[in-house]
Structure 1
Amino acid sequence: MTDQALPALPLQSPDTPWPTEAWPEGDLPSGMDRARFDALMDHAFQAEAPADMGETHAAVVIQHGRLIHERYWTGFDKDTTCPSWSMAKSITQALVGILTADGKIDIQAPAWAPEWTGDDPRRAITLDLLLRMSSGLRFREDYEPDNPSDVIEMLWGEGKDDTGHFAASFPLDHEPGSFWSYSSGTTNIVARAAAQAADAWGGDFEHFMRERLFNPLGMRSASPKFDAKGSFIGSSFCFCTPRDFARFGLLYLRDGMWEGKRVLPPGWVDYARTKTWQQPNDEGPYGAHWWLDMAGPGSFSANGYEGQYTVVVPELDMVVVRNGKTPGEQKLGPRQWIADIVECFRLVG
């Protein structure tokens, strides 16, 4: 996908209030495949979690800036905060964009990592390469406790107090820019570099996050987590309500604009959704800390472990959020379910 091939990002209608205080509500469109849509929702939210997708705790559908459908599993509601897992990576990408607009970060410059000194070949790694998961650094991304896993060690073991340092200490397995490999460690190097650029750690960085990103959008439930060194654990931990994840998705659907003001710099959303070169892989196309095409060509999404998704569909002016708890062996189920949900709206006459 090239910049020219990116579908246009729709503007907020002047007749539609921004959801900073509350989501304006709308109706499911007439002409959609309502029977199919209802069947898909009923399947996901049946009392006993279906074998093909595990538990679905929440589903929120936004179209044309309005909340047109939401549903929650037993014990969950609109005020329940849900884990982001790796959806936090896309939040980290937004923070880097804000710092780029402030002139505090240059994504084409070598990334800040004090572990990489002198003639260390890792000094060739830029923030752009990190955001595109193309650093070449060794890192085993595996969430199964029985398997050797660098991400589990980083989040709960040896690396938990200084996640950025843990990830930056790995050697290169490939020349920077020559190999794509999804890595939560990569994001924590980025998050630590963002704190350095902002000169704000721990509570100070959380204040920056709230002042520049969460509060302008009305994301009042957002709860980011930090390591002992004060770095945002941007790979994995920012709890939000599903409605607040939808606000974040709407920011990207609206090209970084909110209530007539720029939150993200011009071109930053296009940067997020421009395809990264990848060797053949089973994970799907990737942009810059956003996944691509999950709900059809031109869609882009923040994807998290156990089936957390915020999916942006410019073609339909739509955001779909799904939170749940899906075992790894069923991980393809929610992806297909979201694609099928979106397809119901493509049938509108």
Structure 2
Amino acid sequence: MTDVVVIGGGQAGLAAGYYLRRAKADFVILDAQAEPGGAWRHAWPSLRLFSPAQYSSLPGRMMPAPADGGYPTAADTVAYLTDYEHRYDLPIHRPVTVQAVRRSDDHLLVETDRGTWQARTVISATGTWQSPYVPHYPGMRDFQGEQLHTVNYQGPEPFAGKRVVIVGGANSGAQILAEVSTVADTTWVTLRPPRLLPDDLDGRALFALATNRLQGDTADLGDIVAVPPVRDARDRGVLKAEPMFSRITPEGVAWPDGSSLACDTIIWCTGFRPALRHLAPLKLGSNIAVDGTRAIGEPRLHLLGYGDWTGPASATLIGASRTARETVLRLGLAPRT
């Protein structure tokens, strides 16, 4: 019997591991990937964090500033997470795919392709990268061009000389638009007008806003960080969004007023959903009710790192760190000072 099984070895799982190690808990981390780095290993090469390295760190070890002094890249983050798990000698088993979590008397069973673990507590920290979300629009199956999601995007080169529609008004949409627009004819389409933070603000402001919302603060400065490539796109005049289309045609997209646009590619920067299929046997519903990170319907289960739902900005490095600490404290395994 293990005190805690952590499912997922990305940033949230590592943050939990840090505090569990300090609390001298008996725990393991099960990670489906063959190598460290979490979802960052699969991100497009030019992706940048939204905050400087010193504000994008896990507990106990500062992320080194990148050589160019700017915001860390996906590769910088993978290197940092790899070093982190080795530095703290975290008990990570990989590759291990968790297939199901089930109740069994006074503990939970974690069934995997490498055997079954018995745990008094399970921390699910699987993130969202494995569950990309693409909204349905009429005509999607008839489109004769290419459609891809953020998870499949690896750089602008394949789109050179093409007509590309980029859907989504958050940070990923803005960053992908910024670089695809350097090689292609781009159109940005969003549900509502995109809102850039002032140039002197970054992801730290978004974290503060997410925290303050829990206390009833309704202030809203914007939701897109103006990292250098996004500023460049703004200065080139391409950071202009059209309203959302209503349907997809074989040749492109069309709006309710009858106007249309032909295109070769649609890139869906439309976000993700929590990757929670392994929790289905617990029958907690599609939207698991939580008290902090603890599942109300199964108090031996905690959910860590899935966004504001499980803690302010908990899908970020700094947010995952804070909610991980609170989770371990709540388990009665208080970190030692």
Q: Same fold (TM over 0.5)?
A: no
More strand by share: 2
More helix by share: 1
